[in-house]
Structure 1
Amino acid sequence: MSAAVSRMSLVRLIALGLIWGSVFLFIKIAGFTFSPVQMVFARLVLGAIVLLPFVYSRGGKLPSFGPIWGHLAIAALLGNAIPWVLFAWGEQGGSSSVAGVVNSTTPLWTIVGAYVLGQDRKLTVSKIGGVVLGMVGTIIIAAPWNAGSSGSTSSIVAFVVGTVSLGASFAYMGKFLAGKGIPPLTLAASQLTAASALLLVAMPFAGLQPLHFRTDALVAIAVLGPICTGLAYVLNFQLITKDGPTVASTVTYLFPIVSVALGALVLGEPAGWPLYVGAIASVAGVMLVRRKPKAAVVSSQSPAPAAAKA
């Protein structure tokens, strides 16, 4: 029995790693037709369309309107609207491989955000070392001594700022939304709904560019929304509930590998030594940050660390 469970756990983990690791490839392809705001709005709406029926079919429902939606709006702004638009904009002139690797450092910025919000003042040596190592990895990827090696400076800045925003969103959710009795899947569906509303407001100002339709871009949107956003959250939820949050968190180490491989194989993106060395340093930094004391107990109701993706 345990072997069967282990196999299913591995299948779920690999599937989620492949889905989330391919996000950056599909963002790049969708950008051939859609502007960043158009792309993110479509992705959010399609993702919510997948998640909402799943929540209600399990007897759940969205939170009642009130202060909780104010927190959801801020979480959606920090965790979806800002970073997803920045990654979509950055990939117009930047590398999807670099985007995936930089995005994998989100847990490092979550630690920083938790410290700023007063959630975690116990900065262990491993946490500090992990954050520093991750930042060094990001600098190596950017390769400021070799201009243009990993894409334009503006694209890398967009990736870094977007990743910082993602980290801040998880810290914010941990402080204001965790422990409110809202199941993780319902929380994800509510956040996608709130983010869709935010992007709808932005559409008249930054989302009315003419579209030049391409089949590959339409396919990319069809994958980004229902699969990479909606289905991925369901799969992540299953990983957390059936295999535990520790297993679920390991997907963070998989998707930068997938994003680099797909960028090179599908898009022909160059992947020089700065990207490889920076990726190793970043993943090592995340592993240090995730190291927990032996007595630590991880709650399955905490915001899913594995959801740290653009």
Structure 2
Amino acid sequence: MSTVASSSPPATPAPAPSEISADNPASSPSEIPTGSPASARPRRALDWRVRFGVLSLIWGFSFLLIKVGTEGYAPFQVTLGRLAFGTAVLAVAMAVKRERLPRGLRTWGHIAVAALLLNSLPFSLFAFSEQTIPSTLAGICNATSPLWGMALSLVALSEDRPTRRRVAGLGIGFLGVLTVLGVWQGFHGLDLAGTAMALLASLSYPVGWIYLRRTLAGTGHSNLSLSGAQLLMATVQLAVVTPLFTTLPAHLPVVPLLAIVALGALGTGLAFLIQYGLVAEIGPTTAQMVTYFIPVIATAAGVALLGESLTWSTPIGAVIVLAGAALTQSRARTPRRSAQP
């Protein structure tokens, strides 16, 4: 789930701010050309499939790490730590590549809004939600981001035209959401407040992507520069808010603290760098497929490592959600014309 300004679509924990339309949840502030020949693409030490798998695992386990972190620290503290360690990783990457932060008050104003919508708000909502709902459910709720993104882009972005395929995908996806929520059983055993916060967090991502597309696309700044600034601004926001609502615990629980470090350094910092490299090498369409592995890994991790239980409606609803999300982002095949003599 990318949550910083990259060039690939959502998703999470979080899908990526570069995915600024639901199709490409895409136009990032600094787009990476993906139509160049394979020989022109950067060569990597690790095969892209290995890095794709690592990225799926990192983001899939993020919901487990959030759950563990909230067992020892307040939700705002978890979010602040996550942002601080994620910012540190990107700061090192920027120093190595000699990237500079963007300049200009107007640009930083837009970055502040993007940081709120793509980092501060959704990260905090997920942390609060996992106090009352299992990490498996939070991971599945995160998978609804492409659905929200498609619905919003059809309204807010004139270039995204509704098609039968997209409308059908939205309908199927939201049917899956209702199945996950267990509406047929009267929401039995479901914490509505926690689930609502997780769904709002998932909605916040595409709102942020659309805002980013309207305000910062084409500014000439690199993805790394904008993402570093975005995480830095989000860290400042949480540094202001957290002391107002929390106090430091009498002792510092080690395991939750390590979970927060991993959540920030891996799930927020390193994950962006991996995703950025994947988009540059294989393009956003293939890179965005990571979205569909996140809820599967989140569910497996929650059940196997945290002992969370599942009702029949949760995995079935998750499959329906993913099918709907995949349908909204697929394109109808156009017949190829035969070459003219």
With normalisation by structure 1, the TM-score equals 0.89
Check whether the contact 2:144–2:199 (CA below 8 A) recurs between aligned residues.
Answer: no
Shifted more, 108-117 versus 25-34: the winner is: 108-117
Distance 1:181 1:109 in 2: 28
Distance 2:97 2:242 in 1: 33
Pair 1:150–1:197, CA change in 2 (3 A):
farther
Structure 2 residue aligned with 1:90: 129
Structure 1 residue aligned with 2:237: 198
Shifted more, 17-26 versus 135-144: the winner is: 135-144
| Shift of residue 148, structure 1, vs aligned partner | 6.3
Q: Which runs of 5+ in 1 are unaligned?
A: 296-310
Shifted more, 34-43 versus 131-140: the winner is: 131-140
Distance 2:138 2:194 in 1: 9
Structure 1 stretches of 4+ with a deviation exceeding 6 A read none
Distance 1:292 1:66 in 2: 39
Shifted more, 194-203 versus 147-156: the winner is: 147-156
What are the residue-to-residue correspondences of 1:272-291 with 2, within 5 Å?
Answer: 272-291=311-330
- Matched length: 294
Structure 2 residue aligned with 1:224: 263
What are the residue-to-residue correspondences of 1:67-216 with 2, within 5 Å?
Answer: 67-146=106-185, 151-208=190-247, 210=249, 212-216=251-255
Which AA in structure 1 matches 2:266? Answer: I
Tell me, what secondary structure is at the counterpart of 2:293?
Answer: helix
| Shift of residue 282, structure 1, vs aligned partner | 0.9
Which AA in structure 2 matches 1:179? Answer: G
| Shift of residue 116, structure 1, vs aligned partner | 3.4
Which AA in structure 2 matches 1:25? Answer: L
Check whether the contact 1:106–1:167 (CA below 8 A) recurs between aligned residues.
Answer: yes
Which AA in structure 1 matches 2:130? Answer: E
Check whether the contact 2:117–2:207 (CA below 8 A) recurs between aligned residues.
Answer: yes
Pick from 82, 92, 105: which aligns with 1:53? 92
| Shift of residue 119, structure 1, vs aligned partner | 4.3
Q: Which runs of 5+ in 2 are unaligned?
A: 1-37, 335-341
Per-residue deviation, residues 47-69 of structure 1 (Å, max 9, x unmatched): 00000120232132110132111
Check whether the contact 1:94–1:150 (CA below 8 A) recurs between aligned residues.
Answer: no
Structure 2 residue aligned with 1:27: 66
Structure 2 residue aligned with 1:262: 301
Check whether the contact 1:29–1:217 (CA below 8 A) recurs between aligned residues.
Answer: yes
What are the residue-to-residue correspondences of 1:225-240 with 2, within 5 Å?
Answer: 225-240=264-279
Which AA in structure 2 matches 1:176? Answer: T
Distance 1:263 1:150 in 2: 17
| Shift of residue 185, structure 1, vs aligned partner | 2.2
Check whether the contact 2:169–2:324 (CA below 8 A) recurs between aligned residues.
Answer: yes
| Shift of residue 78, structure 1, vs aligned partner | 0.9
What are the residue-to-residue correspondences of 1:244-259 with 2, within 5 Å?
Answer: 244-259=283-298
Identity of aligned residues (%): 32
Tell me, what secondary structure is at the counterpart of 1:77?
Answer: helix
| Shift of residue 87, structure 1, vs aligned partner | 0.6
Distance 2:300 2:183 in 1: 23
Tell me, what secondary structure is at the counterpart of 1:225?
Answer: helix
Q: Compare the two structures and name the one with the higher helix fraction.
A: 1
**Higher CA-based Rg:** 2
